[in-house]
Structure 1
């Protein structure tokens, strides 16, 4: 043994019990009572919860977008993840016309080998099939552990949008390969029409970002994606679900037995569209935007009912001066907000306050993401799995501020939010990478997670 965590309360997606965890060579070697061995590092977790590390399956690190690049590099983004109890981060590299999947992924892996502070995986955003070459390459990519892909129904002007034909080709292909297709679902034509009309009318504040892509605009995209997935009987993962109507369509399909998964994000659970009326409303601009109270209520209800599968962040922060580009024109605001360091603390605080159970928080943030995306060594405290462990102090009071986060951005939408309980320690494959508010890991520690396709 290399490490024993003693006297804690172990929390999984299904159980809560007192016990010790022994770690050897980065893996969980034993779970039991009164585990001991001479000369082994012992962490006393008395009065604390012991949880599996979170798996944030939705981040955009060092991503070129909106005339700039998202504020967090692979180093700072994964450092922040570690400090929030996230031990595996999924990034979304964007394939462009003429580019291959594996060429892009290998380029990103080379950076992560030097910078990543926790383990990492990649979805690949497909923007062009390169006359069918991408469909062929996907088989090799799946063998290499890239078992999920993404389509955008939006960002037409940025060259990222796919049409329905491309989307259905990819749905068929992931079904053949045991992979899964992720989708950002909104209606691009309605958005463009609304933006054009608002700007002509001189309606330029962040409030019109929300009104240009309100509930029904996202719902149409969700329904269209669900329609094709149902009729092709193909696996579909809907990212950052924010609206009630689209959620209902996805839930109905799930209950009919279709292989459809739903993700939402902490920002949709905490904030409503009212934030766009604030003086700093531009800081909250992301896509899809926060919606009304009815949609937020529906999201929490779906979490309670088990109809939402995962909570992830869509972490894509920009600096305040970049957000200010849209001070007089909402369409110029880079879309994205911070979140990777806030995911687990926020959901665990919700559990501590009685909104959900701690088991549900683990299910949404760790177990389900690992299972859906084929991370066989992640997502649970089980003998033989990676020793990705969070020790959580349920009594600690914590107020989020840009000053106590570990990213590179200069502001956060979470400023001033108070949490009940907070992670005390994060362990990545048996190594302590965060302790008592400080990052104590090292860049390059993180390893690529080779995932397994569904059989």
Structure 2
């Protein structure tokens, strides 16, 4: 044995118990009381919790968007992930016109492989569905890419697919065992409302929210769920942020349909009021934060089990880039940071009694691992699983600041947030990559995950 984590309390999605964890190489090899090996490095977890590392199933690193590129490189983003207890990062690879699925993934992997500080996988966003691409779905799944994304929005940017293409993707995804994720908003309503606001001279960040309010997202949620139900195909809705969409997810699940909803910490903590702030443009993302009713509905979805996962949609831009839209919200690059904040935020809410620690592990680790085909190696602490482990100190007080984050972004929307409890240590496949505030990993350590198809 190489390492033994001793004296801590193990928390998985289903269990909470005291035990030691023995690691050999990259794997957990024993879980028992009082494990002894004189040659092993001892990691003392007294008065701390031992958790599986989180999986952030929704990030956009080095992503070209809005006339620039998202601020975090693969190195910076995965470094921040490690420091936030995220040991697996899923990034979106956007298909370019004429490009195949595997070709798209390989192109992004050339950037990611030498930089990644933790393990990673790709969702490929389908933007140019030819017959050849549709026929490549099975080969892509065999290659280890078992999830694809479609955009119901970003028509002008060339990312949007129509309902017919989305239905083809849903049907083929079910056939080959791939999960299909959807960004649901209505682009025509957004364009109409945006044009009206600009004509009226209403250009502040507040009108970013009003250009795509609750009903604009909800309509697309309802449409996506309708197609999935009609075709009897699984569906994963990314970054769900509105009450009516949450209600439709619950209804479909109660009817027995395989619908998964993901939401993000920013929707659970902030409301649309942030867009009234002087720095409101820093909070611009799509979908935007919504009103209090929607936030309450998302928390209820977490309580009921109808929210399946928490992810971040991590897509930050520098403050000077956000300032491009100081006088015109349409020029603000869309995206916020969160990859280092997701697990600490959710664990802090558990520490305050809002939900259980087991539920946080389920939302941030176990469920994404199962849904996206990398369980049981990821998402739990068990003999044979990867030694992706977080040691959490529930007694540590922590205040988020740009100065104690590990991203390349020059600000954080989480500035000043006080957390009850914080991550002490992160291990990625048995290697300590973060300890007591210091990043100890290295670029190139992370491995591409070859994921399994859905049964």
Q: Shorter-normalised TM-score: what interval?
A: over 0.9
Aligned to 1:308: 307
Q: Secondary structure at the match of 2:19?
A: strand
Aligned-pair CA distance for 1:96:
1.7
Aligned-pair CA distance for 1:108:
1.7
Report whether the alignment pairs 1:43 with 2:40: no
Q: After superposition, what is the alpha-carbon deviation per residue over 1:43-83, rounded to whole angstroms, capped at 9, x for unaligned? A: 01000000000000000000000000000000000000000
Aligned to 2:293: 294
Structure 1 runs of 4+ aligned residues shifted over 4 Å read none
Please give the residue correspondences for 1:117-136 in structure 2 after superposition, counting only pairs within 5 Å.
117-129=117-129, 131-136=130-135
The alignment's TM-score, normalised by the length of structure 2, stands at 0.99
Q: After superposition, what is the alpha-carbon deviation per residue over 1:400-434, rounded to whole angstroms, capped at 9, x for unaligned? A: 01111000010110011110000000000000000
Aligned-pair CA distance for 1:100:
1.1
Please give the residue correspondences for 1:259-338 in structure 2 after superposition, counting only pairs within 5 Å.
259-338=258-337
The alignment's TM-score, normalised by the length of structure 1, stands at 0.99
Aligned-pair CA distance for 1:256:
1.0
Q: Secondary structure at the match of 2:94?
A: coil
Aligned to 1:400: 400
Q: After superposition, what is the alpha-carbon deviation per residue over 1:241-265, rounded to whole angstroms, capped at 9, x for unaligned? A: 0000011111111111111100000
Q: After superposition, what is the alpha-carbon deviation per residue over 1:157-204, rounded to whole angstroms, capped at 9, x for unaligned? A: 100000001000000000101111000000000000000000000000
Aligned-pair CA distance for 1:111:
2.1
Counterpart Cα distance in 1 of 2:201 and 2:352: 43
Aligned to 2:215: 216
Please give the residue correspondences for 1:13-412 in structure 2 after superposition, counting only pairs within 5 Å.
13-129=13-129, 131-376=130-375, 377-412=377-412
Aligned-pair CA distance for 1:133:
1.1
Q: Secondary structure at the match of 1:51?
A: strand
Aligned-pair CA distance for 1:122:
0.5
Aligned to 1:6: 6
Q: Secondary structure at the match of 2:262?
A: strand
Q: Secondary structure at the match of 1:421?
A: strand
Aligned-pair CA distance for 1:337:
0.1
Tell me, yes or no, if the aligned pair for 2:344 and 2:421 is still in contact at 8 Å.
yes
Counterpart Cα distance in 1 of 2:304 and 2:409: 35
Aligned to 1:438: 438
Aligned-pair CA distance for 1:110:
2.3
Q: Secondary structure at the match of 2:337?
A: coil
Q: Secondary structure at the match of 1:50?
A: strand
Q: Secondary structure at the match of 1:374?
A: coil
Counterpart Cα distance in 2 of 1:452 and 1:422: 32
Counterpart Cα distance in 2 of 1:132 and 1:421: 51
Q: Secondary structure at the match of 1:115?
A: coil
Counterpart Cα distance in 1 of 2:328 and 2:229: 39
Aligned to 1:451: 451
Q: Structure 2: which 5+ residue stretches go unaligned?
A: none
Counterpart Cα distance in 2 of 1:177 and 1:108: 23
Q: Secondary structure at the match of 1:93?
A: strand
Counterpart Cα distance in 1 of 2:232 and 2:266: 31
Note the aligned Cα RMSD (angstroms).
0.6
Aligned-pair CA distance for 1:101:
1.0
Tell me, yes or no, if the aligned pair for 2:96 and 2:104 is still in contact at 8 Å.
no
Counterpart Cα distance in 2 of 1:340 and 1:443: 17
Aligned-pair CA distance for 1:140:
0.5
Q: After superposition, what is the alpha-carbon deviation per residue over 1:137-171, rounded to whole angstroms, capped at 9, x for unaligned? A: 11100001100000111111100000001000000
Aligned-pair CA distance for 1:301:
0.8
Report whether the alignment pairs 1:413 with 2:413: yes
Counterpart Cα distance in 1 of 2:101 and 2:320: 33
